[in-house]
Chain A
């Protein structure tokens, strides 16, 4: 069976629902959780929700440009995770904590 057809058996709306739910879970996590590592994970979740949407539409429209975007996003996400984790490690070394609530130096 052609792999394309497997995906096409499902209606596009299902992919949209799934990725929306995933994005909202990620967004909720970013806004509510205080652990910086969990925050990074949630961001990753949001990015991947977007990726899923890109791939789904790419298949639906028969246009491979969407899949190219997914690769870009993955590269950026990997870089972001690397830099973000490095920052968190440095913060942890300084404060013995990864709680983002402690960092409110930008107060107005």
Chain B
């Protein structure tokens, strides 16, 4: 099916266009053509989506390009497919991608690397589409590495700042650790299934061709890959640092799409994970601890983007909790609503940063409500959605996860509710400190304050609407009987019977859980309102912090720990090796080379330029030959 290739290649053409001739064109043209290349993909993705709903869950669209790799009797094709899971991801990637492209035209205006930015962004969308559209694990890996590269390039986009360059390298290296896990998983799949095609591998797993140990090993390896890409403990520290990149990048790559690749991987391989309860337990607990730890750190961050970054880590943890209990459609639901409201929040923070002239510290903001009304209202909607205001999208998706977890692991449920409470607190804290109260910045900043142009506010409004109504995708059965759980039904061909063994709580329990979620939301709101509005307190300076607050503000010193344990130890290993190298090996080589040059000095004296000596050598040579000939 050629349409799939057009979807895939359109962003690539956009990339080549912006990358090669974008430099010589006006900003507007480069930006719009890049954006349109994504719009083409989005429109065609809608068509694919439409086509899939007609097929009633039938076979997915497929297209095979060429043989990518052939080793022995293993052939891997450059093959793409679109089933119901992929089509959702495609819509999220191209839809939000398009909005963020539009936003960037205004946001990146006047930047020297404008064309480069759009080229990278298009390349990212292409790689992300390869990741979700590939019909075998190698294509997934190709996209996986590609988005990692684009993430690196875009985090370090303002590479003249050495800190940003370091953040980019950190992200790249942390991701490589995870990628190694994914790679090991691929090798295990090849050795046990002799194929990388999804259909072959899952068929082999279903028919019982794989031992439980092998499936568990594969799942854990894949999850290590997901840890790197989706920023889970212990590989999460790169994501907050990745905020060094321009804000649209944070919104697209580090909130809405790339970081959810790990979730997609697990959902895609649900057949395997269902067979490996040990791996599911690991995912559950890692997700839970990530969710709580990141939320706690988010409580005391003062950089508006850092708060959102930790919030992303925390929400990803929540998705992994859902995956851990096997609630794949709930995880996808939260992935989609999270993409809406987190992209909205990031773009909103970008609008704030834009208006503040580059300032990111919330302590220097305040009272922005009257200066930036559109940003204020959209950010408010995003905040309400993420902290679980009833009837907003985040409320439904979070409730879906919590209700499923409640029936399986009540302890995990309780801790997840705590995490949700903290989420509400830090989100309201950021929101209230930024937009309420009075302005705390400098006079010049106050003069400069203005609402952002339409290219920024229109994507904000569209995303705000999506965050508002995103819950309609998967309404719980409590509210409607006919259209309930649309997303779950939509995904049922992909998930197969993985969903059947999930028990939903009874209606009365579900009402109770929902009531509890609402009271958690209200508690978070009242607490922050009391602290930041009634008492108008401003977050304290770093130096004034004590006890737990200090630990939270310093991110529990995890970076320092990693620095001591991994970075320092490998550095000292490196310097020891360096000494050994320069002492032993270089010394040995030095002896050899100086010996050779000494010998050559001796022999070069033989060539003194006098013809009679040369003749003498010749005579001696002839005589020697005679002697050897005669006597030996």
Contact = CB atoms under 8 A, between A and B. Distances in A.
State yes or no: do A and B come from one complex.
yes
Interface string A11-49: 000000000000000010011100000000000000000
A106 B617 CA distance: 15
A107 B615 CA distance: 14
Contacts of A31: 612, 615-616, 619
Classify chain B: how many residues form its interface, as a range: 10 to 19
A100 B615 CA distance: 13
Nearest to B600: A108
B616 A108 contact: no
Nearest to A105: B609
Contact of B611 (A27, A32, A103): A103
A106 B607 contact: yes
A95 B260 CA distance: 88
Interface residues of A, number: 12
A57 B615 CA distance: 28
Interface string B390-421: 00000000000000000000000000000000
Contacts of A106: 607, 609, 611
A101 B606 contact: no
B480 interface: no
Contact of A108 (B608, B611, B615, B619): B608
Interface in A88-108: 100-101, 103-108
B604 interface: yes
A103 to B, nearest CB: 7
B612 A100 contact: yes
Contacts of B616: 31
A33 to B, nearest CB: 9
B612 A30 contact: yes
B345 to A, nearest CB: 77
B112 interface: no
B181 to A, nearest CB: 61
Contact of B608 (A27, A30, A32, A104): A104
B495 to A, nearest CB: 81
A101 B611 CA distance: 8
A32 B611 CA distance: 11
Contacts of A100: 610-612
Nearest to B611: A100
Interface in B591-626: 604-612, 615-616, 619
Q: Of residues B604, B605, B609, B619, which shows the largest number of chain A Cβ atoms within 10 Å of its Cβ?
A: B609
A108 B615 CA distance: 16
B601 to A, nearest CB: 10
A104 B610 contact: yes
B614 to A, nearest CB: 8
A73 to B, nearest CB: 19
A27 B619 contact: yes
Contacts of B610: 100-101, 103-104
A106 B609 CA distance: 4
B607 A107 contact: yes
B619 A107 contact: no
Nearest to B616: A31
Nearest to B610: A104
Contacts of A103: 609-611
A31 B616 CA distance: 6
B612 A107 contact: no
Nearest to A33: B612
A105 B604 CA distance: 14
Interface in A55-108: 100-101, 103-108
A31 B611 CA distance: 9
B606 A108 contact: yes
B597 to A, nearest CB: 14
A101 B616 CA distance: 14
B620 to A, nearest CB: 10
A41 to B, nearest CB: 15
B607 to A, nearest CB: 3
Contacts of B605: 108
Given A107-B609, A108-B606, 6 more contacts: A30-B612, A31-B616, A31-B619, A103-B611, A104-B610, A106-B607
The 3 nearest A-B residue pairs measured at CB: A108-B607, A104-B609, A107-B609
9 contacts: A31-B612, A100-B610, A101-B610, A104-B609, A104-B610, A105-B609, A107-B608, A107-B609, A108-B606
